[in-house]
Amino acid sequence: MSLIFAIFTPILIALLIPFLFKRVPKIHTGWFVLIVPVALVSFYATYLPSIMSGSTYIDELPWIPSLGISFISYIDGLSLLFSLLITGIGSLVVLYSIFYLDKKKEKLGNFYVYLLIFMTAMLGVVQSDHLISLYFFWELTSISSFLLIGYWYTRDGSRFGALKSMMITVFGGLMMLGGFLILGILGDTFSIRELIAQTTTLATHDLFVWALVLVLLGAFTKSAQFPFYIWLPDAMEAPTPVSAYLHSATMVKAGLYLVARFTPIFAVSEVWVWLVTGVGIVTLLWGSFFAVKQTDLKAILAFSTVSQLGLIMSLLGIGSIAYHVSGDLVTTYTFATFAAIFHLINHATFKGSLFMIAGIVDHETGTRDIRKLGGLMSLMPVSFTIALIGSLSMAGVPLFNGFLSKEMFLDATLSLQHFNLYAMDTWGILIPIIAWVASVFTFVYSLYFVFHTFRGKYKPEQLPKKAHEAPLGMLVSPGILATLVIVIFFVPNFLGNTFVKPAVVAIQPLTYAVPADVGFTIKAWHGFDSIALYMTLGIFLVGFVLYKLLPKWTAIYQAIPSKLSLNKMYDGLMNFADHGTNRISSLYMTGSIRSYLLYMFAAIIMLLASTLWIKDAFVISFDNLAPIRFFEILISIILVVGTLTILFTKSRLTAIIALGAVGYTVALFFIIFKAPDLALTQLVIETVSVALFLGAFYYLPKLNKHEKGKEDRGFRLGNFIIALGVGVMVTLIAISSHSQKLVPSISQYYKDTVYSEAGGGNIVNVILVDYRGFDTLFEISVLTIASLGIIGMITVRLAKKKGDRKIENK
């Protein structure tokens, strides 16, 4: 299996899902789909040994060769790690969905098609070496996630959440595309590997920072960073398998991947260091603080995801400082990158399990409202155990993998005191303080999630369903993830050596050659002289007190004006875009075809006139003109008289006859200039047009019955000016094009190649069929569509007549 084929395998299998869904209704479609991610994770796992030794792999499939655009799959430590996460977590999510989604009630065919398309999109994002193909897959993730989030499209919340996520992420994607184009122009290549090799040269260009900011906008919107995070909580309207997949291991991690992948290009800029670190740390605090406010289980997890994404983003920012230092400090700050990748894996394990448990609680009780829940520990002991493991890992408690990466995060923030560039040694002191405060709230919302759900008083009267433990099949996937949470704590360096180090090498290619060069060891105990140890003890102490006093201080959230929220700003912007644009469009969208023609012709006049003026293109030359013959003058006079007759007649019949005379006169010109095929076409069109006009105008009032007031004169004057302007501009263009030949005429090329290259004897036919083949194809397509419309109308008419006859017979 090639790497390119592996990327497109899910979307190819998606084509078969509708047939399987219909042909094999007794078997849950998910069992067929499960084969795809399991096979892919097995395939990618075979690359681990060689990637660990520093190897990389490339596979290429030409896409648009004329523009140098290809699908290039590049596998190194970073892309392999994400590919394994996408397919590995994807396998568990599909297994979970088999038991979560009812095959009798749900449209499983649609669900799994969307899921497989999304899987291809994510694999394409993390493996693409070409910027344009990366953007293609990036936007495919937005579209497929829109379909997944809006899967329950009959619900208002699902449609709103899907639209909100797509609007924000597509906006970021367009900004990112601008950054990609700037990079491609500056480096004269769209290959990420080749751009990395030109980092020193690129950084000197004035547009470098612009490209940096635009790329980060794409990353921040996709990874739900402040202030773009607002789409993520609304996306929780999706089915829980979607939330577990998109928002713990894939879609929201795409932005983190983008930052990690482009760190070797942009990390040389101080703007990158401050933006990535600053936005990440603010997002961490913001998400953790507002997670405590939520009452919906998935909303709590949504804000906790925002918080954890901010943590990883800030670590990537701190890690990029390694490009600005030397000696031992390189290792110090590369440690932050190592911690970022390690926590990214940890987050996928504990957050995936927690999303699945939230879905189980909803599935077995009928609600996710934490105010109605409580006392489920004895009724759902297995779910409680998994939730406890995931929550304590998220809180950073020992014996769980989240504790290890949280300690590494605190150490990384403290290391900023050694960096005295870009004011990090002064303003940077705020980062460990913010990190500590955010970690306190993380501890609070972690306890809040698990204990308010499973401990306390059981309230059966408030539950739509009688609570009971989930079926075994639904517990397998979160159980596996919870097991990994514990296993990673006890053997963290296996994970570090196998997955994390190769990814760090990909992010720091100028510093490390092979993963063995990254000399980090993950330890649970750093001694009593570790500042992070005392920060952790403070987090546990203060966090526990705040949790116990939760009802006492949560009133602070009510003091924050809802009108100032980012969601209100988004709603206001969308309402303005909706109503404001409707008001503007209503000014010119009058429903009158005459008005629309007026706008179009006025635009033509302005565009052509400005082009002639700016380019100084108007030139008059009478060289090489054929002599004008008497009958040509006579035909021209007839043409002018016919046109004036149309303008000034008060009889529609006379206007139609004059219009036909104009058309037939033009056909005479075609005959004189030896273009019989055009003349024949013109004659046919004119004959049909006159007949149609006669049929239509029979039902219209006479022209002389129209009122002739001031408004009518103004209307006619406007039409006269526009008509005169178009006529003058077309004449000027014709004179200018004849008077100056900027490029050789293509007619000679046609004469030289029509027989030798195209193998035809009739130059007109060859031009239409070969040289202008696409134009002819589109014309045929239009005729085909028109024919289908005619057939449809005839069919409806015949069906109506048959129905009338049946009624008469009865």
- Residue 98 is predicted with a pLDDT of 94
Do residues 222 and 172 touch, judged by C-beta distance below 8 A? yes
Q: Is 396 helix (H, G, I), strand (E, B) or coil?
A: coil
298-330 pLDDT, tens digit each: 999 999 999 999 999 999 999 999 998 888 888
What pLDDT is attached to residue 703?
55
Q: What is the pLDDT of residue 423?
A: 67
Q: What is the DSSP letter of 238?
A: S
The predicted pLDDT at position 801 comes to 66
pLDDT at 1: 63
Whole-number Cα distances in Å, 746 to 429, 582, 735, 742, 768 = 69, 46, 19, 12, 14
For 707-746, the three-class secondary structure string (H helix, E strand, C coil) is CCCHHHHHHHHHHHHHHHHHHHHHHHHHHHHHHCCCCCCC
Task: Average the pLDDT over 129-151 and give the result.
Answer: 96
- Name the pTM for this structure: 0.82
Distance CA 111, CA 104 (A): 13
pLDDT of residue 117 exceeding 50:
yes
pLDDT tens digits along 168-197: 999 999 999 999 999 999 999 999 999 999
Q: Whole-angstrom Cα distance, residue 397 to residue 390?
A: 10
Whether 807 has a pLDDT exceeding 60, the answer reads: no
SS3 270: helix
Residues in the chain: 810
User: Residues 702-723: pLDDT tens digits?
Assistant: 654 444 444 566 777 778 888 8
Q: Is the pLDDT of residue 751 over 70?
A: yes
Residue 778 confidence (pLDDT) above 80:
yes
Per-residue pLDDT reduced to its tens digit, 59-111: 999 998 888 899 999 999 999 999 999 999 999 999 999 999 988 888 888 99
pLDDT band at residue 802, thresholds of 50, 70 and 90? low
- pLDDT at residue 563, rounded to an integer: 72
pLDDT, position 705:
43
Nearest-CA neighbor of 652 among 707, 698, 610, 715? 698
Query: Would you say residue 624 has pLDDT above 60?
Result: yes
pLDDT above 90 for 596: no
pLDDT for the residue 808: 58
Three-class secondary structure of residue 130 per DSSP: strand
What is the enclosing helix (H) or strand (E) of 317? helix 297-319
* Distance separating alpha carbons of residues 643 and 619, to the nearest angstrom: 28
**Look-up of token digits 């033509």:** 604
660: its two tokens: 């036909």
pLDDT of 465 higher than 70: yes
Residues 6+ apart with CB under 8 A from 285: 307, 310, 434, 437, 438, 441
pLDDT one-digit tens code per residue, 249-294: 889 999 999 999 999 999 999 999 999 999 999 999 999 999 999 9
